[in-house]
Structure 1
Amino acid sequence: MQFTHLSVARKLKFYQLMVFDQVLQSGSLLRAAQALSLTQPAVTKIIHELESYFDAPLLVRGNRGVRATPLGELVVRRSKSLLAELRSLTDEVNAYQEGTSGHVLVGTLISASSSLLPRALQLLKQRAPKVLVSLRVGQMDQLFPALSVGEVDLVVGRVPDDWRWYQESSQLEAQVLYGEELSVVAGANHPLVGQNPVNLKALLEYPWVLPTRDSLLRRTVDSLFDDAGLTAPPNVVESLSILTNISLMQDQQTVAVMPLEATRQFTGAGLLTTLDLGTHLQFGDIGYFQTRNRELGPAARLFRECLEQAAQEQHGELQG
């Protein structure tokens, strides 16, 4: 069967593609039906209609749920871009008819999630309380593909030095907001509190909580020890959970490395203290990524403005 733009436009419906995408996200027809407030037979019928139209199976059903066939992967990959444009169209129509409203999906890294993002969200809600914001926390190898296909509108976090080597980089552009530093932190009553400067080698005697090995922050931490001619700490827990890390440091022994912005509210509350190594530890640039070929909807554009305003409040003028 030879497909044409006209035949596809006549037969395919956005709703079918939305259901198919939800089935793959959920991993089962039943969970997709629950997420969409449909019955399982209704979801099954929609999938059968799609498979009948393409004259080929789109899903493989197994004991562990469902997954896409090669043709299904192709369909869902293209569908995500279409659904992202549909969401933007919906936002713009709502904004035109009702005032500012809509839905913004933001991907974020730990480096921006504790200070910059909360302030940007406060500003957004002051200006447009009807806008719904969904946050997705992950690493760049997860967030860049999601951004390129429209699963998220913006990605906020550290701008990696090597981001142009990512497969999706030709579709993306970055805006730097400010430069971030790192802090070595511990519980407020750690034995080395008050020693200025603290010897990094002496800290190796204590337990550490470090970022996971696949994170940008971990690369920076590893270089801290390499530059000092030291091996990595032998007693380590790997975690990107801020709440878990803070709880671990309440033993007054555990040490961690965190972005400076992420530590300020906790040192101010007396939960943590900064250990002065006698030098500034540079983490890198914090900013946001967006796609080059897809225009943001009004809600996402407003959130971007709030993000830039939050950065100006905290760090002065935007960097180029």
Structure 2
Amino acid sequence: MKPSVMSVARKLKFHQLVVLDQVLRSGSLLRAAQVLNLTQPAVTKIVHELESYFGAPLLVRGNRGVSATELGELVVSRARSMLADLRALADEVEAYRDGSAGHVMVGTLISASTWLLPQALQLLKQRAPGVLVSLRVGQMDQLFPAVAVGELDMVVGRVPDDWRWRDEAPQLEVEVLYGEELCVVAGAHHPLHDHGPVSLADLHGYPWVLPTRDSLLRRTADRLFADAGLDAPANMIESLSVLTNVSLMQDQRTVGLLPLETARQLAGNGILRPFDLGTTLQFGDIGCFYSASREPGPAARLFLDCLRLASQEHASPETI
């Protein structure tokens, strides 16, 4: 007989789902217990209770830790969606009570994390200091599924040209915030900075640091070289770490790519300097993705308003 919603609600408890979710995030019963401030036997007991209810194993133990069985993946996927709704409920109740609390989970890419998000966060904290914002930096292949199932409230970053072809696209909406340009940069004392306009061909023989092949910025970089009739540089390091990239460029030879606003910040500090290529390089639209079916909570709506306001204050192009 198919179990009724009432019978499932009586036997399954939210705290059991929280434990299962944390075990899979941690990859270890012990680490999950530490995060949840429980003992390992207590975590093991809760997992066994869930497996007993579902009548099959949910976890498998291997050399690299604990992972989900096929049934476990199904259960935790639904559980994460329910937990997201529960978090939204808690936020809405708290916001109803005092209008200034809640928790926002935001995914981001490099293109938004160095300028737009700090601006929006400052605006949010001025309006609602009690709102907690948790940021997760990653690639769209990781972030899109997370926002689709409710692990994240939104994802802020460059809008991929092909995003509507992705599996999660029907579950997502996007709001374009502004268009971003791109800069080719190097240390402030690179020998070609004082030679007037330069071309990619002039810079091609220098060492380069470029994003990894799975990133949107790398696809843009590859297209720039192809349009200039060039192969990718032979002397290259792949890195998504802004701090690492900036450090590499301090040798005054290594060249890299950065979104315009990121380059402006670093140029203002005298760390880097963009090259004059005699033309504007387009990076693409920066936007905010959120669930098409799940209404954002009050804290998430407030943060989205702050993102819009920060985007409106986006400075017009200027010399950097």
Instruction: Indicate whether the TM-score tops 0.5.
Output: yes
- 1:63-142 counterparts in 2 under 5 A? 63-142=63-142
SS in 2 for 1:314: coil
- Aligned AA for 1:36? L
- Aligned AA for 1:153? D
Paired residue for 2:254? 254
- Structure 1 stretch 53-62 or stretch 276-285: which is displaced more? 53-62
**Separation in 1 of the partners of 2:278 and 2:98?**
55
How many matched pairs?
316
- Aligned AA for 1:75? V
Say whether the 8 Å CA contact 1:158–1:284 is kept in structure 2. Answer: yes
**Separation in 2 of the partners of 1:126 and 1:108?**
21
Say whether the 8 Å CA contact 1:196–1:278 is kept in structure 2. Answer: no
**Separation in 1 of the partners of 2:207 and 2:66?**
43
SS in 2 for 1:282: strand
Q: Kindly, what percent of the aligned residue pairs are identical?
A: 72
Paired residue for 1:265? 265
**Separation in 1 of the partners of 2:306 and 2:81?**
25
Deviation at 1:60, TM superposition (A): 1.1
Paired residue for 1:280? 280
Deviation at 1:253, TM superposition (A): 0.3
Deviation at 1:3, TM superposition (A): 2.2
SS in 1 for 2:301: helix
Q: Does 1:33 align with 2:33?
A: yes
Say whether the 8 Å CA contact 1:94–1:102 is kept in structure 2. Answer: yes
Say whether the 8 Å CA contact 1:178–1:315 is kept in structure 2. Answer: no
Say whether the 8 Å CA contact 1:111–1:157 is kept in structure 2. Answer: yes
**Separation in 1 of the partners of 2:64 and 2:274?**
47
Runs of 4+ off more than 3 Å: none
Uncovered stretches (5+) of structure 1, i.e. residues with no partner: none
- Structure 1 stretch 119-128 or stretch 63-72: which is displaced more? 63-72
Paired residue for 1:15? 15
Q: Deviations over 1:84-103 (max 9, x none)?
A: 00000000111112331111
**Separation in 2 of the partners of 1:160 and 1:205?**
29
Q: Deviations over 1:223-270 (max 9, x none)?
A: 111111111111001111111111111000000011101111110111
**Separation in 1 of the partners of 2:22 and 2:179?**
38
Deviation at 1:277, TM superposition (A): 0.8
Deviation at 1:301, TM superposition (A): 0.7
Paired residue for 2:58? 58
**Separation in 2 of the partners of 1:299 and 1:271?**
36
**Separation in 2 of the partners of 1:207 and 1:266?**
20
Deviation at 1:315, TM superposition (A): 4.8
Q: Deviations over 1:9-63 (max 9, x none)?
A: 1111111101100001011110000000001111111111111111111111233
